[in-house]
Chain A
């Protein structure tokens, strides 16, 4: 019995230490565990150095079950905790176990009744992600917060200048959080799909934002050539940019009504999309030459082949019918953006230089070139599978 009491006292002390560390330094931006399986010295296991907070590993096994059991007891009506105590308890618990759904829900309830600021939880989530960059419940809670913030009266009814500023800050902050989590864990599905959600729901797939994102993530994918999620994000951006041209709306189904994007920006030309796709082919080729043997790059190229035909087909007046059955041999050039004369545009399309073509034949030649030159058997395997894939989706392949 005495031992249990000792543990109880110790745990309460550690909990207090953590809370006061946050009070002393509200700018803590990263948490971590200090490998220290046993309490060797008579000192607090809570170590704060500048904006970094470390916990010695021995204390986790005591602290987390204690906090967890208090939360459950509260939820079952066995003990009563006031809102401040609940905020403090869930704050620490979520930094130890951010997928405890119920703990986030407790905070949602407090936000609903105005006892907790949503902005504080964006910060808490960011901290939790510094240690658990995949944590699904942390991302889920962020989406709930962001929806609430955007819908909130303060933002929606603010004078337009203030609105845009507040909105830009929110959007930018969220993209920073996504990049940090993507840096911490490779192919971080939750971070990248959250980023897609942000572009859809906060930015309303605004072409200007889409283009800025294409630019700002290029260096990232160049440095992470095996991160398929990073490339997929660019596929998402390219698809959304092309949406106007080919009437594919699935990436942008949820436009936020409060983002007043000028109409002229909303109808970005398909030729611009074609140019983006062409640039992406170039990027993909360069990376493939520099870093052979990466499945992500070949998979990315499949998408580009698919999107190219969708856009080229739509621009040449052909209706694109689903999974690459009707392919257009026409290539597209950037200059067509300036004209609205369809006949003229088609002539330009036919005249466009061969280096901008990515039709079946051009891509077959590209892959064959790789096969002829490559000394790397993995790279050769990817190239020959690519060849088969583009043939297959173009309709000339039947399964075994």
Chain B
């Protein structure tokens, strides 16, 4: 007797077309719920939440529905004297939210809203002796923060501000025998960290240092019979890995190694037909692992590289949020969905925005 695969079952009546307008409605309504409990509990990552919302909105072609002025006003209050940006007013600065802020301002073509020279100085100050980056002044090191540092600097055109050779050496020291990457030297390969490290190496023009065949193999093994992708062996599929895995494969020039058709079916099945938005996975869970989902009220969800989002599960299975909505849409865009704007696989912004900046990112063929 074999073990049941940890996977989901996609019902025949699951959504199979893209509810474009509903998603825009969902994102627009999200920012109106400011008194909501969930809104309050996720304030510690608000800046990233705003980035997920407006990028998703722009991919659907409805950016004008977002209140640009009030977002810019909010952002003016989030930069600290050290140059770093906090998730919200009264929250401490961190590289994660600094990247989100710069992504938002790039998208709005309004970078001068904050003091950019100070941002560069902040990032420079977080580089450690071994080339790694701390997320903030308290010193936690993670390859996610290496990505945040170079992604932000690339958007600002200031990659010259850091010690690049050491930064590359550190990221490579986190590479594992399977071709993947973990958060620190010796840590397990994880699709979210792989995205960060492959993205890092793409931005700094060192993608040739990756064993693309070996890593591509590991990445395409993330696909399960349902079509969905997981982030590590024997984990359940999750729509956000449609982004981390797919974008990595795209950078490595190996997108065709997975079954796009089945992945598309999986992503579409994660939509909420009534409210709009995407959940982490379709309703029916096959494996036993996730039966705790229906018992716990609150649980964390993975959201690389943006820490973890807190969410309330009012319904046991299909619960949409901004995070999965962005990465569901971005995944569909990478798969060639024509109703959406093309997305850049490295910086997760619309391709047209990256082109406007004149940023050239060399991917593998």
Interface residues of chain A, those whose CB is within 8 Å of chain B, are 33, 35, 57, 61, 64-65, 68-69, 71-73, 75-76, 97, 99-102, 105, 108, 132, 134-137, 140, 143-144, 147, 186-187, 189, 192-193, 196-197, 200, 225-229, 232, 236, 239-240, 250-251, 253, 291-296, 299, 302-303, 306-307, 323, 376, 378-379, 385, 389, 392-393, 399
Contact = CB atoms under 8 A, between A and B. Distances in A.
Contacts of B308: 99, 134-136
B228 to A, nearest CB: 15
Contacts of B307: 99, 101, 136-137
A79 B309 CA distance: 28
21 contacts: A72-B88, A72-B90, A97-B44, A97-B310, A101-B94, A102-B90, A136-B308, A187-B235, A192-B188, A193-B184, A196-B184, A226-B3, A226-B289, A227-B234, A239-B186, A253-B130, A294-B3, A303-B177, A307-B177, A378-B2, A399-B213
A57 B295 CA distance: 13
A29 to B, nearest CB: 19
Interface string B157-201: 000000000000000010001110011111110100000000000
B273 interface: no
A299 B91 CA distance: 41
B177 A99 contact: no
Contacts of A399: 213, 216
Contacts of A376: 1-2
B357 interface: no
A65 B91 contact: no
B162 to A, nearest CB: 20
B17 to A, nearest CB: 32
Contacts of A196: 184, 186-187
B25 interface: no
B214 interface: yes
A65 B135 CA distance: 26
Given A132-B300, A296-B233, A140 B140 contact: yes
Contact of A306 (B138, B177, B190): B177
Contact of A143 (B41, B140, B173, B178): B140
B106 interface: no
A187 B211 contact: no
Contacts of A294: 3, 234
B40 interface: yes
Interface string B32-59: 0000010011011100000000000000
Given A33-B297, A253-B173, A144 B138 contact: yes
Contacts of B182: 193
Q: How large is the interface on B (under 10, 10 to 19, 20 to 34, 35 or more residues)?
A: 35 or more
B90 A75 contact: yes
A284 B179 CA distance: 22
A226 B89 contact: no
Which of A132, A227, A239, A303: most chain B CB closer than 10 A?
A: A132
Given A75-B91, A102-B91, A144-B138, A228 B185 contact: no
For the residues of B in contact with A, the DSSP-based class is: loop
B183 A102 contact: no
Contact of B214 (A65, A105, A140, A393): A393
Given A196-B186, A253-B185, A302-B178, A379 B2 contact: yes
B364 interface: no
Interface in B271-298: 289, 297-298
Contacts of B359: none
A192 B184 CA distance: 12
A17 to B, nearest CB: 20
A312 B216 CA distance: 27
Contacts of A299: 178, 233
For the residues of A in contact with B, the DSSP-based class is: helix
B43 A68 contact: yes
A283 to B, nearest CB: 17
Which of A64, A76, A108, A295: most chain B CB closer than 10 A?
A: A295
B9 interface: no
B336 interface: no
A299 B221 CA distance: 11
A99 B185 CA distance: 24
A65 B3 contact: no
B300 A193 contact: no
Contacts of A189: 188, 190, 232
Contact of A76 (B5, B43, B89): B89
Contacts of B19: none
B6 interface: yes
Nearest to A239: B186
B217 A102 contact: no
A323 B215 CA distance: 12
Contacts of A65: 37, 40-41
Given A76-B89, A228-B235, A240-B186, 20 more contacts: A71-B90, A72-B90, A72-B91, A75-B91, A101-B92, A105-B138, A108-B138, A137-B307, A140-B138, A189-B232, A196-B186, A228-B188, A228-B232, A251-B185, A295-B234, A306-B177, A323-B179, A378-B2, A378-B5, A399-B213
B205 interface: no
Given A64-B41, A99-B308, A134-B300, A296 B188 contact: no
A379 B298 CA distance: 35
B92 A105 contact: yes
Which of A64, A134, A232, A294: most chain B CB closer than 10 A?
A: A232
B139 interface: yes
Contacts of A385: 221
Contacts of A57: 297
Nearest to B256: A400
B253 to A, nearest CB: 11
Nearest to B88: A72
Contact of B234 (A33, A99, A100, A226): A226
Contacts of A135: 300, 308
Contacts of B300: 99, 132, 134-135
Q: Which 3 A-B pairs have the closest CB atoms?
A: A293-B2, A72-B90, A232-B188
Contact of A292 (B2, B94, B140): B2
